[in-house]
Amino acid sequence: MLKKLLGGLFKGGERHSETEATGVEHEYRGYLIISLPQQQGGQYRVSGIIRKTLADGESEETLEYRFERSDMLSSRDACDELMRQKAERFIDEIGDDMFSER
């Protein structure tokens, strides 16, 4: 019961992998936006990952930023769309600086 109540607070590997498999993906300006809404109390919280793959001919590196917002919506589709819109705006404003340690 506690796991169900607190499940959205923890980002364990198993939970992340399971959710990621069902994420909605969208490419934008060289970034991959993956919508992974967190279901809470019958609503969906805007959540997901922004990835960018860098290649220099010899090696490839994938950078990843966990994107979490407080917005809650009643529809999964609406949540996926809002995630896409917010992530695109974030990319336009912040760009690769999102991957810098703060």
Number of helices (H) and strands (E) in the chain: give both, helices first: 3, 5
Among candidate residues 52, 43, 40, 36, the one with its CA nearest the CA of residue 84: 36
Write down all domains in the chain, each with its CATH number in brackets.
24-96 (3.30.160)
For residue 12, pLDDT beyond 80: no
Higher-confidence residue of 84 and 102: namely: 84
For residues 3-28, average pLDDT:
54
pLDDT per residue as tens digits for the range 63-98: 999 999 999 999 999 999 999 999 999 999 999 999
pLDDT per residue as tens digits for the range 29-51: 999 999 999 999 999 999 999 99
